[in-house]
Amino acid sequence: MSGNNGTGVGMMAMALMRAVEADRPQGVRLFDDPVSRQLLPASWQLLMLPGLKQLLLAYSRWTGPGSLGNLYCRTRCIDDALRQALAEGLDQVVILGAGFDCRPYRIEGIQSTQVYEVDLPATQQLKQERLREALGGLPDHVLYVSTDFNERQLDEVMAEAGYDPAGRTFFIWEGVTQYITRQAMNATFRFVARAAGPGSTIVFTYIHRGIVQGWARSRSDERILDVARRGQSPWITGLDPVEVPAYLADRGLAFVHEWWAPDYCERYLLPMGRDMDIFTGERVVLARVRA
């Protein structure tokens, strides 16, 4: 399933919000992303006009308290993790549930690796159409792998795509785990653990299980969940932060680090002098494939 809400409208909305942040002045924006805006049809780009953009931001803050700040900060956090992995040397980058993720087209140095974007067939068809229009064609270093995490084993589809299980690989799994079954999540982590070379890592996001199940859910969380349900992408799976290291170890991965709202404030927002609400129910985890 797509990491960007699985539908064309959902993916466009994610691209739009990233484009809005990337449109901020250098020095106060959290990331550079010229491609997201290029993926938007002209009608969507109108929403970036000053007056409409302010209304859009206000509406987003009202419907999903803290979601926008979390999206922007997690994007920067994963960008940083990817850049670090590229600096250390990579053979492959695999983006699971790629949606409208533009990292293969905007992160310096990624062109020297083989990138696999994995997502639903309909999602990939729409993205490729928008990329051809925006970039004039599809880049040679990216391969598009069509699958559904709930239906097919990654071993099979990745082998068909030419994936090298001995290569040093960086996996990105952003904004996906809450939408798929526990069984599909388990299978994906086990695939990463057994089908990647030494030094391979995965960065992924997850939602606190208490929010998904309701026993640790605030009124603000309920509004965010309602948006997901109305978008036909309900949250069904979560993890307990206390249990994450052991959960990963049981699936062949070693926990390295975790980031969430307090880390984003310290690393990014305070140095920039920015003040944003950040949803505290989602976290970013970096894990390493155990030797």
Share of the chain above pLDDT 90, in %: 90
Q: Which amino acid is residue 182, in one-letter code?
A: R
State the Cα–Cα distance between residues 56 and 163, nearest whole angstrom. 40
pTM of the model: 0.95
Name all domains of the chain by residue range, CATH numbers in brackets.
8-289 (3.40.50.150)
Q: Where does the pLDDT of residue 140 fall: very low under 50, low under 70, confident under 90, or very high at 90 and above? A: very high
Tokens of 234: 């309900």
Tell me: pLDDT of 53 over 80. Answer: yes
State the Cα–Cα distance between residues 35 and 134, nearest whole angstrom. 8
pLDDT, residue 109, reads 96
DSSP-based three-state secondary structure for 167? coil
Q: Where does the pLDDT of residue 4 fall: very low under 50, low under 70, confident under 90, or very high at 90 and above? A: very low
Average pLDDT of span 123-144: 95
Min mean pLDDT across 74-83, 99-108, 163-172, 225-234 is at: 225-234
State the Cα–Cα distance between residues 137 and 140, nearest whole angstrom. 9
State the Cα–Cα distance between residues 171 and 193, nearest whole angstrom. 11
State the Cα–Cα distance between residues 196 and 8, nearest whole angstrom. 31
CA angle in degrees (0–180, nearest 5) for 71-77-80? 140
Longest CA–CA separation in the chain, Å: 53
Tokens of 78: 């994963």
Tell me: pLDDT of 152 over 80. Answer: no
State the Cα–Cα distance between residues 67 and 281, nearest whole angstrom. 10
Tell me: pLDDT of 9 over 90. Answer: no
Q: At what angle do helices 8-22 and 121-135 cross, to 10 degrees?
A: 40
Q: Where does the pLDDT of residue 81 fall: very low under 50, low under 70, confident under 90, or very high at 90 and above? A: very high
